[in-house]
Amino acid sequence: MPRRLPPEPLDPDEVRALLDACADTPTGVRNRALIAVLWRAGLRITEALSLHPKDLDATHGAVRVLRGKGGRSRTVGMDGAAFDLVAAWLSVRATWEVGPRSPLLCLADGSPIRSSYVRVLIPRLGRAAGIAKRVHAHGLRHTHAAELRTEGVDIGIISRQLGHRSIATTATYLDHIAPVAVTEAMRGRVW
């Protein structure tokens, strides 16, 4: 069994550097939208790549995930700045000859992006951005969860956002990613 490396959530400046590492090309605009969806909605790669434009509701800040883990669907929230990056991509996408059944994040011919592309893209952008941490697509999900935890968002909301079946799963996930309770207890000690 391969050794699992510990999660290394990125800080906001590192994610911004990752976004800035995307080229100013149509593909770069798409890749920025992809990073925004992975980071600000906390989606898994396959969930993000399965989205269609109809699944996004910028007015209500909602993203509908129809093909989540285990075949479950859910609706998650995403902030306005992330929707702005997706809107920029949709403007570029509209200039391509992409059919209505094509995924939100697609190639120029409308075909889906493979998850293997994303697994190579994100580390490459991380290196280009000069990020010292291990940068990978699922790490953006870790970053999202850690940020929610730090912001004091209720664990039940985080659980629903991440699509976990139980709060216990989320508690274990968060303790592994952002052990806030442990660090806060130790930081508060005096001598």
Q: Is 141 a catalytic residue?
A: yes
Q: Is 133 a catalytic residue?
A: no
Cα 44 vs. chain centroid, distance in angstroms? Answer: 7
Q: What is the structure's pLDDT at 75?
A: 96
CA distance 43 to 141: 6
Q: What is the structure's pLDDT at 89?
A: 97
Q: Is 44 a catalytic residue?
A: yes
What are the structural domains of the chain? 12-187 (1.10.443.10)
Per-block average pLDDT, block size 10, for the chain (191 residues)? 74 96 97 98 96 96 89 92 98 91 95 96 97 94 90 90 86 73 69 75
Give one DSSP letter per residue of 64-130, joined into a string: EESS-GGG--EEEE--HHHHHHHHHHHHHHTTS---TTS-SSB-TTSPBPPHHHHHHHHHHHHHHTT
Q: What is the structure's pLDDT at 172?
A: 79
Q: Which of 40, 44, 136, 144 is catalytic?
A: 44
CB of 34 closer than 8 Å to CB of 117: no
Q: Is 136 a catalytic residue?
A: no
CA distance 33 to 179: 29
Q: What is the structure's pLDDT at 181?
A: 62
CB of 30 closer than 8 Å to CB of 89: yes
Q: Which of 141, 142, 144, 149 is catalytic?
A: 141
Q: What is the structure's pLDDT at 135?
A: 95
Q: Which of 69, 74, 117, 160 is catalytic?
A: 69
Q: Is 138 a catalytic residue?
A: yes
Q: Which of 52, 64, 74, 138 is catalytic?
A: 138
| Phi–psi pair at 112, nearest 5 degrees | -70, 155
Q: What is the structure's pLDDT at 177?
A: 73
Q: What is the structure's pLDDT at 79?
A: 96
Q: Is 52 a catalytic residue?
A: no
